[in-house]
Structure formats: structure tokens, C-alpha cells
Amino acid sequence: MSRLLDDAAKVLPLLSRDDGNPGLALGAALGGAALAGRDKLLLEDRLSPIAGLPDWIEALVAASTGKQGRGILPVVGADPQGAADELVVGIDSDDGDVRVDGRLGAQFMIWEYAAAVAALLLGVDPDDRPDAAEPERATAALLALPDLPAGAPTLVDGPVEVYGAAGAKDLPGVFTELLRAVPADGYLAVTAYLDRLAAFDAPVPEGADFEQMTDAWMMADPATLRALLALRTDRPVTFGWGPRFRHATGQYHQGGPQNGVFLQITGAVAEDVAVPGRPYTLGRLQLAQALGDLEALEARGRPAVRLHLTDRAAGVAHLLAAAQEV
């Protein structure tokens, strides 16, 4: 922790300068690019010793800029497509339009400054979260009901119930419909209210090496769906775990440009746990949060489909197999 603070302290004097201010320069680059139509921020950190920083940058930039129909969409883990609306930023890497160097503490300071500058250039308040509370209110209202209004599925494909995508005949058709719905300047957001560590419980071949184990885990991981769908479109595909993404890209999803298409994944709970001091379980809370998010998106006319896995492990495998058929 002391090293982190020391690294932050070293860059702090630079952030008070008019010239040679890395935060100001980065913020001007981000905001200026967004004003010119390059509002999809691809974050590249594969060569950096501080890999993982883009997940934090995603939350910072999306929440700071995504409001009043404006914003910068951070895209983590995606390969550049050469699209006109992309801006690629390399973290300690030359693989991008902009390079940001520095140790972790310095990066935190630079990006905080830059996000504020970019938001101000876009004409929005970086500290305001005007839409963040709406899903929370919707969740509370749903939890007060005797039963959650999950509705009836429009389609059932194996262990997957589909809510929405009325024109599709099967799961590959659902994915095709969603990808076709993404506008030329838009994006597809996948959000999963599932266990992000469950993939590590997937069976692996006896005597498997690390590569084989990794392959087995990937094919049991809902996050793999992002990469599979990204191969089938030239538009950005993002992925977020619920409810974490509410405090990351959630503000952007609701308050940003009207060009997003949303795929939500929920799952049946096999072993539920009561929430201490509350009249509901964790499983009911999780589903209410997901339905609250959908309600907020649909109230803004943003296309959204929910996939509910009646068996989580089998459902994930079915999703990934279906995506490969698109």
C-alpha cells in the first residue's frame, strides 16, 4: 500500500501543471475523440505488468461520462476492429492510438483526472450519477411484491428460457436477432447474474495439463460468450457480472447514447440462502436486481433479452454451443 501511495504522490505535482500534465493530455484525447465520434474506448493491457487495470478504468470512465445521452463506452478484452468509432488506448503498450505509462498508483491518479476532463468536454458532470438509483428503486419495489413478476418465456431451448426475442425459433436465432439489432454506431452488452467462479468447478480430463484445464474452464465460463459473439460482429461486445456492473457500466447503459442492445443472463438457484434480517433470500434478491435492471432499460426503450438458465452448468454449455452456431 505504501508503494501505491508513493507512486501516486510522485505524479501528483504533474497534475497541477498546464504543460506536461498527463491527466489533462489523456482527458483531452478521450473527450476530443468522443466529440469527433470515436466514443468506443478499447483498453489494451496485455503487455503491462499491471494487467487488470482496465476493469477499474471501465467503471470510472463509464460512470463519469455516460449520462444525458452522451458518454464514452470502455470495452475491455476486445480486439480492435478498425472501426471509425474506436479509440485504442495501450496501458504500457504501443498497441494503440494513445499510450499511458506509469505504475499502478500513478495510473489511478492520471485516469481519475482524465475521466473528469473528458466528462467536462462532453458537457456532463463527472460526479453525477443521475440514473444509477433507478434500478435500485425498481429492485426494492419488486422485493416488496409477494412474487417476482418474471413473466412467461417466449421460447425454451433446452436448459435456457428466453424472455424477449419473439421472432427467434431457437437460441442461435436469439443471438442472430440481437446482433442484427445493434446499430451501426452501437454495441451489445452482455450482463450475467451468475457465479463468476463456478467455471472452476467444471470437470477436467484426468491428467490434464494447464492448457487443457484452462480450455475446460473457458467452456464453462459465461464470460466466454462475449468473445464468441464478438467474433460474429464488427461492433463492440462488453461483458459485466451482476450486480457489479451496476457500479461500472450501469450508469452508461441507462444514461449514455441510445445505441445499446442488452443480453441479460440469470440462473436458477439450487441452494438458496436467507438474507439476515430481511424477508427474502439471496436468490430472490439476485433475480429482483436483474429484473430491476431490465425494467430501467425497457423504460428507456432500450432493446433487451433475458436468458434464464434452469440448470446453470448445462445452461452455460448450451449458450456457448449455440453461439458457435451463429
* Integer angstrom CA distances of residue 207 from 202, 203, 212, 217, 220: 15, 12, 9, 15, 19
Fold of 133-323: Rossmann fold (3.40.50)
Can you give the pTM of this predicted structure? 0.94
The mean per-residue pLDDT over the stretch 267-271 comes to 94
When pLDDT is cut at 50, 70 and 90, the band that residue 129 belongs to is confident
Give domain limits for the chain.
2-121, 133-323
* Look-up of cell digits 504543460: 19
Same fold, 2-121 and 133-323: yes
Q: Residues 144-202: pLDDT tens digits?
A: 999 999 899 999 999 999 999 888 999 999 999 999 999 999 999 999 999 988 888 88
Please give the CATH architecture assigned to the domain spanning 2-121.
Answer: 3-Layer(aba) Sandwich (3.40)
Q: In this structure, is the dihedral angle defined by the CA atoms of residues 28, 32, 35 and 40, taken in order, positive or negative?
A: negative
pLDDT at 122: 98
Instruction: Flag whether pLDDT at 47 surpasses 80.
Output: no
* Angle, helix 104-121 to helix 53-65, in steps of 10 degrees: 20
pLDDT at 131: 84
